[in-house]
Amino acid sequence: MISFMEGSPLVKSADEELVSLARSGDHKAFEELVERHKQKAYRIAFDFARDREEAKDLSQEAFLRAYTHLGNFDGRSGFYTWFYRILVNICLDYKRRKQRTSAEEFNESIEHQVEPSQVSQKPPSPDQQVLAGQLSRKVSAALAALPPKQRTAFILKNNQGLSIREIAAMMQTAEGTVKVHLHRAVTALRRSLADFA
Amino acid sequence: MAQDNKATTRACKPFEEDLVLYYYGELGGGERAAVEVHLPGCQSCQLYLKELESILPLTVKPDEPPQAFWDDYSREMRRKLAEASERRSWWQSLAEFLRPWAIPASATAFVALLALTLTFGKRFWSSKEIPQDDVAVVEILPMAENLEFFKTMEVLDAMDLLENIGGPAKGST
């Protein structure tokens, strides 16, 4: 489980120190922030895009936007809460754009992104391949069908393991609202994926 | 392939949302205890929880890119940041100028400048205009010059008079 919140004051203060340096023109300090957060950022973007290259572009776009808008960071929340809010918004915008394109084209790209290391040593049988393809398409379609707030709450909880409090801070909403979004998302996904239970 | 609307296990209504939070370990003290007391005696809630445990992990698609991917990522990011930094250098000063505090400050400075200009500039402009009193002087001045002329004329008249007095005497002689 990844913890993004103010659990570690040392990490928080170190991030803020780097932000302060970056604001005064030290772009090396911002590069250090990128190094610290790039993997978490990429994984969140991947959960939304489910495509390696898209996830890379989206997470990099989020870093660039954070860099050019550092002046807007007021320090009331941790850098990562502020940054991941930017990232989630970029991912949601991407999903809106993506919905205009063909779902088939989208799913084909996912299947080609599977890492050899992720595949079991024994080659899957044709039946397993068909089932995996069906599942992948079904999951993508079910996630894409969720309203943006439900999808965000679900991905941040289910895939990233953030706490409800962290998600609420990131989505700038009440914890109770996040719980409602999460419950609705789970209910919709259960209905869509019941065949694979 | 089954349909999307296939009936799924139904949990007891009051526990449904709590079971989702229970699955994610997000239920605190009392609510968690209530679910744990309820679960052993409720088969539908047990099935609901099992269904969550089997379905929800399917939605996670793990992706662990190789090191080369991260090296490329960092390299690309450094390049993009350097480009953004160059662009930033010229528009940052403009953006900073347009920050919220700068606009009222500029407006105040402008109003102050306008007030100073009107206050001190008025004297300057008005000095070029002829004051009301000076208008009278200007009007009187030609008259005064005429007065001198008339005075001169009076002297000449006096001289003519003297000449006239002396003239007939000469003429009479």
A194/B62 touch (CB, cutoff 8 Å), yes or no: no
What pLDDT sits at residue A8?
43
Scanning B88-107 for CB atoms below 8 A from A yields: 88, 95-96, 99
* Domain spans of chain B, in order of start: 13-59
For the segment A66-91, the average pLDDT, to the nearest whole number, is 91
Burial (CB < 10 A; 0-12, 13-18, 19+), residue A177, is: middle
A139/B59 touch (CB, cutoff 8 Å), yes or no: yes
* Interatomic CA distance for residues A188 and A177, integer angstroms: 17
B59/A71 touch (CB, cutoff 8 Å), yes or no: no
Each of the 173 residues of chain B gets a pLDDT tens digit; together they read: 334 445 567 889 889 999 999 999 999 889 999 999 999 999 999 999 999 999 999 889 888 999 999 999 999 999 999 988 887 666 666 666 666 667 778 788 888 888 888 887 766 666 555 556 666 666 666 666 666 666 666 666 777 777 777 655 444 43
B66/A115 touch (CB, cutoff 8 Å), yes or no: yes
What pLDDT sits at residue A105?
54
Structure tokens at A95: 């999903």
List CB contacts (< 8 A) between B75 and chain A: none
- Please name the residues in contact with A178: beta carbons below 8 A apart, sequence gap of 6 or more: A153, A157, A164, A167, A168, A171
Q: Return the residue of A nearest to B50 by Cα.
A: A197
**Burial per residue of B105-128, b for 16 or more beta-carbon CB atoms within 10 angstroms, e otherwise:** eeeeeeeeeeeeeeeeeeeeeeee
The phi, psi pair for B6, rounded to 5°, reads -55, 135
Domains of chain A, start order: 9-107+126-196 (1.10.1740.10)
Nearest-neighbour CA in chain B from A139: distance (Å)? 6
List CB contacts (< 8 A) between A195 and chain B: 1-2, 6
- Find which of B1, B5, B77, B96 to mutate to test the A interface (most A CBs within 10 Å of its CB): B77
Q: Return the residue of A nearest to B88 by Cα.
A: A68
Distance from the Cα of residue A121 to its chain's centroid:
29
The residue with greater pLDDT, B139 or A117, is B139
pTM of the model: 0.66
Q: Return the residue of B nearest to A45 by Cα.
A: B63
Scanning A101-160 for CB atoms below 8 A from B yields: 110, 113, 115, 117-118, 134-136, 139, 142-143, 154, 157-159
* Interatomic CA distance for residues A8 and A54, integer angstroms: 31
For the segment A182-186, the average pLDDT, to the nearest whole number, is 96
| String of DSSP letters for B97-151 | HTSTTHHHHHHHHHHHHHHHHHHHHHHHHHHHSPPHHHHHHHHHHHHHHHHHHHH
Q: Return the residue of A nearest to B75 by Cα.
A: A31
**ipTM, two decimals:** 0.75
* Interatomic CA distance for residues A157 and B23, integer angstroms: 11
B51/A159 touch (CB, cutoff 8 Å), yes or no: no
Candidates A192, A135, A161; CA nearest to A43 is A161
